[in-house]
Structure 1
Amino acid sequence: MRQVLLCTLFMCLPILGHAQIKGGQNLLDSIHIEVKDIAQQLAKQYVDGVFSNTYKLYKTENIYIFLRLNTSNGKIDLVQWNLDRDKEFITVLNDVDLTYGISIGNHNGRFELYPTQNMYQFLLLDKNLGSMWHVQWGFDSEKRWIVPIKN
């Protein structure tokens, strides 16, 4: 009787061991799926943060001119649209990275343009540090400039 019991136990051990391995594998598979889902969500949040709201268009009083601001670094382009495709263009107003390599807080949305009473002039604000610039757009390159406003 004892031998039959031992023999039955030894015959069942591989089945029990396989069940434990299979159950453990199922657990590992479900953990792998969870980790993969979390990694995908984090990657999507990072990509969305990098690429969303980077640029913003500002109307001027000239119906054909917009200012395109890179809200993460303060670079500005002048955009002229027109029904005549030959008259459309984009030109640089400011190509200097105004963060000067200082990365504080949210990157996108860091800079904002504010119109003044003069249709050609705006104020540019670094919302993280409070720094400000006087911006002027114009049709001629010598009439487009940006200068810091000193504290």
Structure 2
Amino acid sequence: MKMRNFILISFLSLTFIHTYGQTERDSLSTIQKTEKLVEKQTKIQQLKVPIYKLFPTDNYWTFIKLDTRNGKMWQVHFSISKEGYKGELILNSSSLVWTDEEINGRFTLYPTENIYNYILLDQINGKTYQVQWNNEKEKRFVSPIY
């Protein structure tokens, strides 16, 4: 009877250990596969969404260039004459998110009724910013909207 109990307990113990080890290994494998799939989808998404976008203003000669990953912006001017101003003026040279939080398409701009003002939207966390472009440096700014 003692030998029979010993064999039964040994069998159940070995079965439990084998089953537990198998489940643990399968769980790790599943987690790793899921992480790889998410990483692959993120890379695909980032390739489909442009890093930089140009947004027209009501001024025929002026666009706003937006780095959609981090909210950096420039006022872009062009001209068809040799004497006209061509170039970029900084609107916002500081990233609005940490480098590891940058995702293509994270930020976008919306025009307002005022030709010099736009609303910058962080499409991930919902934060908004007032963006004002202008030819005069002291009138250009990006400010959080609380």
The bucket for the TM-score relative to the shorter chain is 0.5 to 0.7
Structure 2: 5+ residue runs without aligned partners? 1-38
Distance 1:136 1:96 in 2: 15
Task: Give the residue type in structure 2 aligned to 1:115.
Answer: P
1:1-151 pair list within 5 angstroms: 46=43, 49=46, 53-86=50-83, 87-101=85-99, 103=101, 107-150=103-146
In angstroms, what is the RMSD of aligned CA positions? Answer: 2.5
Deviations 1:92-137 (A, max 9, x none): 1101100134617xx0000000000000000000000100100100
Deviations 1:15-62 (A, max 9, x none): xxxxxxxxxxxxxxxxxxxxxxxxxxx99x959936950000000000
Distance 2:144 2:109 in 1: 14
Whether the 8 Å contact between 2:49 and 2:105 is mirrored in structure 1 is no
Distance 1:83 1:48, change over 3 A: farther
- Match of residue 6 from structure 1: none
TM-score (ref. length: structure 1) = 0.63
Residue 85 (structure 1) shift: 4.2
Distance 1:49 1:102 in 2: 14
Distance 2:98 2:50 in 1: 20
Structure 1: 5+ residue runs without aligned partners? 1-41
TM-score (ref. length: structure 2) = 0.65
